Structure 1
């Protein structure tokens, strides 16, 4: 649907409540017949209206997450990502979708009609601010400058045909909305799946501020820079928001004291109601028709997706040193030897031959191992040989080919710590105590040595050799802790890092001669799987002067020429 139609079309209200425990949805007014005379009179109406934005089609419920495919750390062998390849066309990619934003603005235009006390519905006010901020953040990442619209427009509204607002103006509006969200939302931890709270709003605010701050810093001298950049303003906001969460004492890193399993176990739990780390998650219930679609069954097959050597090489050895210098690194002969003496997150993210792939009962003789079946058919082919383990629960009892109740983590405390420490490093105010409050907690979970600011071992393979050692190590920590959680391309974009990580590069895999069945791909000169060796002889052609933002589609420019085009797309 084009831009203008989305703006002026009435928001279709969702007929199902995805993340609400209330049973009164069966008694509500028909949502296709909402009128001002019926709705917004009582706080219960406000609650019902806001329930639609918890719908998995709007909120970031990661049912179908491909886990950073379309970046340098996870790839699919079935096609080459057109954005990374540099072949995206002007009418491809997402459109300027304002439909859900209009739905939130409809709430703001009508909430004052409520006859109940403000205290009874301020939670839903906070949710409206949160969702508008979340939706606009998606537009900001995709397009940069966008029109900030905070009320319902009509077909004759002149705002429909105005130019886009500058991205930093929009970022400030998003951050302000999240200030309001944090003010009105509950400050209780709650069960983490029914309704949003203040702390999740502050986490999202830190994410937005870190994105804009690093974007303004690292894109300052390219076509994507802003007038009068103020990255420090945003970094300070990150620190402010994250310290509020950290100082609340409500959250902590999940750990049972088992460094060999705690990280992978976190993503395979069946309930997060009392989990110390998970701040918001999606709860499923087949009996109520709330379920994910083949989540575990889908993940149980590689389906031509594989993690890359770029990721595998990033894990430090257990002495805290990079593989290029550590005497503990055992080499590349097999994935098992690669994982030996490495950060335990390596083998808790990437399957090793001894990790059970399918547990049918407690008897180990009935367990199935992925590397006994890899490359036997297309669905069982991981083009790099590195098969995803994170997010996967191997217990057969939880697998269903149609529907299942696999929960999904949406926001977790680990990101709070990583946002905090990165912002402090970017401000130049990072001290060892900041590391101890953040990175150390993540490393303690897996039994890894802490990062010591004054004794960082140089890595000849740092991804960002022109930046400081501590920023390189903080970015490494983010890469391996948040892998497969859909952060990686956003990080590449905000760091203006495609020239270091994408341009002229191809995704590589493990040594091909270790597999009992020969992978159906070419090898590079060192014997590593090279899935795109023939298709991309010169590596990815990502255009650093164009491809960080999507184009404004021609149909949208016809409706409103004042929108203008993003850099590089007029050529």
Structure 2
């Protein structure tokens, strides 16, 4: 990949054009603008509290988080997938958060005058964690990015440093997370307070898996990496995930009821002592009501689909209860009705997708309504608009006492142990070193929760509909497991991007739904086989994702014109 010079154009741009930038229109570091401030651990803690934001910790949200992918749809084309984005003419890269965290590193040592490392190392670890996390978000957006480790001013020569190649950025992030893991507490804690060592390792495994697979699958393309070494990152991903697994601190939440365990897990009202949730957001109206980023109405919003639905691309991915795909499987009852479609399927199907006979609402007087009430009203109003027909219920609690507009206290799940298991399995499979023991350690606990047969390396049934027919059956099945287990949690676009999989999953395709004959009337188009095809008219040729451009974001033109050394990302 070309080495482009990259200047923090937000600084230069503000000076030249008085634009809104990260540098001059910045928050005044939450009033902590004097080097005399960092004199106690409490002051370090207060400063790090400002990084515990919805931006850094996006939670599992209403109706899911995968609408920028192939597995959920709102009935409107996603601009990235459609290939209709244009070069940003203004805006900033996003270095404001980098500057804020670097301010901490420039000044925190003032605390050493009166306090030992043991008294403040948690907050130092948090600073390393957030710097790594912030840079990971930048790398995912722009690829190559300038590495800055101190607070800069308008005269700093570092402003004119070249943009660092993405693999150097990945190494920097992994190093930051190594430091974070060294300083952060190893205690599990309630998961709703401060981050710990294991969370740093989870994100490290995520970053390393992302870069390892990006380098492997984008090799030879516009997004390839010079001096690529995917094995290095895949080994790190497996190593970090395995350390979490071997710690014994976490385990898969399992009530012993495969018909409900997965669904109940996401609908819990408190994760304080949960074995699987590593980090979550607690909503307490006595403490946080009215604060920015703390509005919460997940269950209230999920009572109806409101144009947010699961796609057939996800529904068809669920195996049958014999552990085999639906194609040619006598256990598969077909698509005639949603109830038949869910029969004999991996229980995660009907614990993610609402079926007509499942509980919709439990009223305070004990009265129960079923999802058939919602399906009977599909497309009767904006609230019941359902482009694909499949209503999501993952994360939904039917008890109406928890349905409160704006001020629900339902918790927001952020990180969970299942990701570590899936990262480990995928990294080992990509390295070609995975064993049955590795699968038993990682995939089996997830399948055990829902009563599904284990994945056995020598007994994988061929699926003519595998998404990646050129890859091994084992990698296809591990990717399927990830797709199903993490559905609607916000992972899917990143997976498509790092696998360079838009050609298989996006280009020329459209999100589909269930058989239109199941509902009396639909405002959405239908394909030649009778399945809902909500974007048929909007994009008759399917998604127009540009393979040589859309994996990364554009650099705003307003920043490029100010500096001859700043060049654009590929394809833009």
Scaled by the length of structure 1, the TM-score of the pair is 0.93
Q: 5 Å matches for 1:172-183?
A: 172-183=171-182
User: 1:28 is matched with which residue?
Assistant: none
CA displacement at 1:562 relative to structure 2: 2.2
Q: 5 Å matches for 1:7-156?
A: 7-9=22-24, 11-12=26-27, 31-32=30-31, 34-37=33-36, 39-63=37-61, 66-77=64-75, 79-91=76-88, 95-114=92-111, 115=113, 116-156=115-155
User: 2:253 is matched with which residue?
Assistant: 254
Change (3 A) 1:470 1:370: same
Contact 1:94 1:550 in 2 (8 A): no
Unaligned runs of 5+ in 1: 15-30
Q: 5 Å matches for 1:74-473?
A: 74-77=72-75, 79-91=76-88, 95-114=92-111, 115=113, 116-290=115-289, 291-361=294-364, 363-365=366-368, 369-473=373-477
Q: Which secondary structure does the structure 2 equivalent of 1:226 belong to? A: coil
Contact 2:209 2:234 in 1 (8 A): yes
State the alpha-carbon separation in 2 of the partners of residues 204 and 385 from structure 1. 35
Unaligned runs of 5+ in 2: 1-7, 15-20
Change (3 A) 1:141 1:367: same
CA displacement at 1:289 relative to structure 2: 2.2
State the alpha-carbon separation in 1 of the partners of residues 405 and 386 from structure 2. 20
CA displacement at 1:367 relative to structure 2: 5.3
Q: Which secondary structure does the structure 1 equivalent of 2:414 belong to? A: strand
Q: 5 Å matches for 1:450-529?
A: 450-515=454-519, 517-529=520-532
Return 490-499 or 385-394, whichever deviates more.
Answer: 385-394
CA displacement at 1:535 relative to structure 2: 1.6
Q: Which secondary structure does the structure 2 equivalent of 1:211 belong to? A: helix
Contact 1:8 1:153 in 2 (8 A): no
The superposition leaves residues 97-132 of structure 1 with CA deviations (integer Å, 9 ceiling, x where unpaired) of 011111110000001111311110000000001111
The superposition leaves residues 4-34 of structure 1 with CA deviations (integer Å, 9 ceiling, x where unpaired) of 25453375268xxxxxxxxxxxxxxxx4364
The superposition leaves residues 68-88 of structure 1 with CA deviations (integer Å, 9 ceiling, x where unpaired) of 0010000111x2111111111
Q: How large is the RMSD of aligned CA atoms in angstroms? A: 1.7
The superposition leaves residues 31-76 of structure 1 with CA deviations (integer Å, 9 ceiling, x where unpaired) of 4364222x10111110001000012233334456851001000011
Change (3 A) 1:92 1:499: farther
Contact 1:164 1:562 in 2 (8 A): no
The superposition leaves residues 185-240 of structure 1 with CA deviations (integer Å, 9 ceiling, x where unpaired) of 00011111110000000000000000000000000011000101000000110111
Contact 2:32 2:47 in 1 (8 A): no
Indicate the structure whose relative CO is greater, using CA pairs within 8 Å and at least 6 residues apart.
2
State the alpha-carbon separation in 2 of the partners of residues 11 and 271 from structure 1. 36
Scaled by the length of structure 2, the TM-score of the pair is 0.93
User: 1:23 is matched with which residue?
Assistant: none
Change (3 A) 1:267 1:130: same
User: 1:17 is matched with which residue?
Assistant: none
How many residue pairs match? The answer is 550
Q: Which secondary structure does the structure 2 equivalent of 1:281 belong to? A: strand
The superposition leaves residues 498-543 of structure 1 with CA deviations (integer Å, 9 ceiling, x where unpaired) of 000000001110001111x311111111100010111211101101
The superposition leaves residues 417-448 of structure 1 with CA deviations (integer Å, 9 ceiling, x where unpaired) of 00000000000001100000011110000000
User: 1:18 is matched with which residue?
Assistant: none
